[in-house]
């Protein structure tokens, strides 16, 4: 039985985490807005095509509208790489609200002016999305205690999926303009909530702003700024030792990049982003409604919009499950399992399309449609609960804090270049290879992702950010890349 002192310490720890949970919920509004950006194209593009506002839209135009947010995210990630070092993590989240507001406004007024407003609208919302996908997880990983860091960073992905589900459901009932107007209101609430949060103490300590660091720690741990708790003082000392021990190394970015202890985690994160995008998850998510219409030739058991909603609801279940499991099972095991589920689902879809007419004679057309729906559910749920969530979590955990701005901008930019290529040319790939070979190709990439994660990526569950670097990348401190 625990004694009285143990109970008091446990209660104090739970109380000290309340501000961190509040901060994660405020940042979650930004994640919800990211979900709106990602989810808009699935119901929005069919609405565009049937609205009569743009009668001359071609398949190429539709692909650009769907995919250009990835180029915006590329720009946003590069800008945010500098912003989080110059202005801080929290302020970068606030900055992201402005391109989001501008982008949604352009989409709302597009039908009254010109098709290019759609392009600019999607580009600007992509910039805001790219900012939030870097600044949000980094901020959460730096303010959270190690025991709850995975859970809090996962709240970002949970609310991102909630944003997708909300957009899919609302898109069943309203046109693309109203959908954009509603989505445009979310960044306003995010601005109000995040402005009340403190800056990350890790940002302050790299600037040697000691008092601001103490104030931030005290807010996040719910203690008095005039008399910080022993836990706060101990955490601050550890942070100073980890980040402030070598002034010359902090100043010399080129010296850091020539060190294997920096390049090794950086290359690992590049690899994670590579297998994340080549698995095809974003392409299938962006064009869910259109894929259902083409795959079932408009004769599915369930309306294509409703099918997309069903898929998104199971995505939410998957992400919520990750929220519960990520700090219990671990990042690496979950990622390997999700990549394997994706690969299996894609193989099944490819076989289903290849033997489509034979199967329809054996198990009926309706049976084939149900199998395809189940496979799409598993595919998107596995992607949303695995690579889509944990790639960003691992990036924020593996990259050293003192080069987070440059490294996160580079790796996220690389991620969005790949995302653009897979989403922009997805329809072209299908036309050249056919649907079944496209499924088979992405299934091989997903299987490669499982192998890469298993053999290369370290586990980060329950470890401090400094401990992750020390255990996995510290042995080669004196090794310099020639």
CATH of the domain at 83: 1.20.1250.20
What is the token pair recorded at 83?
A: 């912003």
The reply to whether 255 falls in a domain is no
Tell whether the model's pLDDT for residue 480 goes beyond 50: no
Q: Residue 271 belongs to what domain range?
A: 17-225+260-473
Based on C-alpha coordinates, what's the Rg of the chain? 23
3-state SS string for 440-481: HHHHHHHHHHHHHHHHHCCCCCCCCHHHHHHHHHCCCCCCEC
Q: Is 199 left (phi over 0), alpha (psi -120 to 50) or beta?
A: beta
Tell whether the model's pLDDT for residue 236 goes beyond 70: no
What is the rounded distance in angstroms from the CA atom of residue 177 to the CA atom of residue 182?
Answer: 9
- Residue 18's pLDDT is what? 82
Name, of 93-97, 219-223, 359-363, the range with top average pLDDT. 93-97
- pLDDT tens digits along 17-28: 788 888 889 999
- pLDDT tens digits along 351-399: 887 777 777 677 777 777 778 778 888 888 888 888 887 887 788 788 7
Burial of residue 104 (CB within 10 Å: 0-12, 13-18, 19+) is buried
Q: Which residue has the higher pLDDT, 443 or 216?
A: 443
Q: Which residue has the higher pLDDT, 461 or 454?
A: 454
The reply to whether 2 falls in a domain is no
- Residue 315's pLDDT is what? 78
The reply to whether 174 falls in a domain is yes
The reply to whether 10 falls in a domain is no
Angle at 430 between CA 428 and CA 434, to 5 degrees: 140
- Residue 9's pLDDT is what? 38
> Which residue from 26, 161, 188, 166 is spatially nearest to 102, judged by alpha carbons?
188
What is the rounded distance in angstroms from the CA atom of residue 66 to the CA atom of residue 76?
Answer: 17
Range name among 1-15, 31-45, 323-337 with the lowest pLDDT average: 1-15
> Which residue from 79, 171, 183, 154 is spatially nearest to 416, judged by alpha carbons?
79
The reply to whether 233 falls in a domain is no
**256-260 average pLDDT score:** 60
User: How many structural domains is the chain composed of?
Assistant: 1
End-to-end CA distance of the chain: 57
- Residue 93's pLDDT is what? 95
């Amino acid at each position: 039985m625990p004694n009285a002192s143990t109970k008091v310490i446990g209660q104090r720890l739970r109380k000290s985490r309340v501000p961190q949970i509040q901060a994660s919920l405020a940042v979650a509004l930004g994640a919800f807005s990211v979900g709106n950006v990602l989810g808009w194209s699935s119901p929005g593009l069919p609405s565009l095509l049937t609205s009569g506002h743009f009668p001359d839209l071609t398949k190429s135009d539709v692909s650009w509208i769907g995919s250009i947010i990835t180029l915006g995210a590329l720009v946003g990630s590069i800008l945010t790489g500098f912003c989080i070092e110059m202005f801080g993590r929290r302020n970068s989240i606030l900055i992201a609200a402005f391109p989001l507001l501008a982008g949604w406004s352009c989409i709302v007024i597009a039908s009254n002016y010109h098709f290019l407003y759609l392009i600019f609208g999607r580009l600007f919302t992509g910039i805001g999305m790219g900012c939030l996908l870097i600044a949000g997880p980094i901020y959460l990983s730096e303010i959270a205690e190690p025991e709850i860091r995975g859970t809090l960073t996962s709240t970002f992905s949970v609310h991102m999926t909630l944003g997708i589900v909300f957009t899919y459901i609302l898109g069943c009932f309203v046109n693309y303009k109203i959908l954009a107007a509603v989505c445009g209101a979310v960044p306003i609430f995010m601005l109000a909530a995040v402005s009340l949060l403190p800056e990350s103490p890790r940002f302050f300590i790299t600037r040697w702003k000691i008092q601001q660091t103490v104030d931030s720690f005290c807010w996040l741990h719910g203690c008095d700024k005039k008399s910080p708790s022993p836990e706060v003082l101990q955490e601050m000392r550890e942070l100073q030792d980890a980040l402030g021990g070598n002034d010359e190394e902090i100043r010399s970015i080129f010296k850091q990049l020539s060190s294997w202890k920096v390049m090794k985690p950086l290359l690992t994160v590049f690899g994670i982003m590579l297998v994340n995008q080549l698995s095809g998850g974003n392409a299938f998510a962006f064009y869910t409604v259109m894929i259902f219409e083409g795959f079932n030739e408009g004769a599915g058991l369930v309306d294509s919009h409703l099918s997309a909603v069903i898929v998104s609801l199971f995505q939410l279940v998957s992400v919520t499950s990750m929220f519960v499991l990520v700090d219990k099972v671990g990042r690496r095991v979950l990622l390997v399992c999700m990549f394997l589920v994706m690969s299996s689902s894609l193989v099944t879809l490819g076989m289903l399309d290849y033997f489509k007419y034979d199967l329809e004679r054996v198990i009926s057309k309706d049976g084939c449609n149900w199998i395809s729906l189940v496979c799409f559910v598993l595919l998107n749920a596995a992607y949303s609960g695995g690579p889509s969530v944990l790639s960003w979590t691992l990036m924020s955990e593996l990259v050293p804090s003192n080069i987070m701005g440059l490294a996160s901008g580079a790796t996220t930019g690389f991620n969005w270049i790949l995302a653009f290529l897979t989403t922009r040319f997805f329809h072209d790939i299908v036309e050249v290879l056919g649907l079944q070979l496209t499924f088979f190709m992405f299934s091989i990439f997903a299987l490669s992702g499982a192998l890469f994660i298993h053999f290369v990526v370290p586990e980060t569950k329950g470890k401090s950010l400094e401990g992750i670097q020390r255990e996995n990348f510290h042995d080669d401190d004196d090794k310099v890349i020639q």
